[in-house]
Amino acid sequence: MTENLPTPACSPSAAKGFEELRLANPHGAEYWSARDLQPMLGYNHWRNFEKAIAKAVTSCQKSGNDPEHHFARARKAIAGGKGAVQEVPDFHLSRFACYLIAQNGDPRKPEIALAQKYFAIQTRRQELTDAFRRDQERLELRQQTKAEFKALSGAAQDAGVQSRMFGVFHDAGYKGLYGGLGSEQIKTRKRIPGGENLMDRMDTTELAANQFRMTQAREKLKSHGVNGQRQAIDTHTQVGKEVREAIKRIGGTMPENLPPAEHIKQVEKRLKESTPKLELDGPAAKGLDGDGGADA
């Protein structure tokens, strides 16, 4: 049985064309001939279409799926002049393969956009590994703490902290949160090189605590109308202490006892180089091997 998957809105004529080209193999699986599909996707030359197929095969591998289940080499007989028949290279393509070809096709071709809509398949989820999720969460938190640090600096300036005292002001928050340890002392305790930014070596738990500390300090400076350098520094220290007490009450690990994480630049690099896994559901995963006779 072929898989009945919901298809997004598509040009009626284009949808009819793709439907008419759909075939079924001996396993009962739907497939499309690459030779038939080529003109429908706006490719005039087979060699250019082969390049699009090659890109799709690579995408299939990177998505965690086996290309052999979706791209099958074949031969196709085509009529030549004077009734002659010629066999040419072809591919039998699953719906997922067609979708990947469309995704990797020339975006300037309107046919590609229509194909993307027609071949859009139903997937269970975009499968992100736990490690990928943790990296993503940490990077997002680090970006948020950067923004919050700037916002807190602005609030401190409005409260009367001079630029030359910003280091003292920010260190006051660390001392409140880390039991009297300033940023350099924290780095020494955690064996972090002195030239590195402390927050670049914090894990998500530690980043979240510091983000909360900075957010609350900024709000308190404004809501309490703090006006004066000494008062602003003391306010930041007190907020840090209160966040520390909250961690202690709920039984959390004190931030100075949390181990250093790898540098955030390594996390960012890993995320750029990694490709999330795309987990196909049921029959879609089997592609050209068929659905075993079960309805989708």
pLDDT given at position 277: 65
Percentage of the chain beyond pLDDT 70 is: 86
Arithmetic mean of pLDDT over the chain: 86
Residue range 265-283, pLDDT digits in tens:
999 998 887 766 666 766 6
For the chain, first and last CA: distance in Å? Answer: 8
Cβ atoms of residues 134 and 208 within 8 Å: no
Q: Residues with Cβ < 8 Å from 201, sequence gap 6 or more?
A: 190, 192, 260, 261, 262, 263, 264
- Rounded to whole angstroms, the Cα distance separating 175 from 155 reads 19
Tell me, what's the pLDDT at 189? Answer: 97
Provide mean pLDDT across the span 121-146.
77
Tell whether the model's pLDDT for residue 131 goes beyond 90: no
* Distance, CA of 66 to CA of 79 (rounded, Å): 33
Residue 128 pLDDT: 54
Q: Which of 10-24, 130-144, 202-216 has the lowest mean pLDDT?
A: 10-24
pLDDT digits (tens, 9 = 90+) for 218-229: 999 999 999 999
Question: What pLDDT is stored for residue 283 in this prediction?
Answer: 65
The first and second tokens of residue 266, run together, are 């390594």
Q: What is the pLDDT of residue 9?
A: 41
Question: Using 50, 70 and 90 to split pLDDT, how confident is the model at 10?
Answer: very low
Instruction: Please say if the pLDDT value at position 296 is more than 70.
Output: no
Question: What are the backbone dihedrals phi and psi of residue 252, each rounded to the nearest 5 degrees, phi first?
Answer: -80, 170
The reported pLDDT for the residue numbered 276 is 60
Enter the pTM of the model.
0.55
pLDDT (0 to 100) of residue 127? 46
Domain boundaries, the chain: 12-128+278-289, 130-273
Phi-psi region of 28 (alpha: psi -120 to 50; beta: other; left: phi over 0): left
Confidence band of 5 (pLDDT split at 50, 70, 90): very low
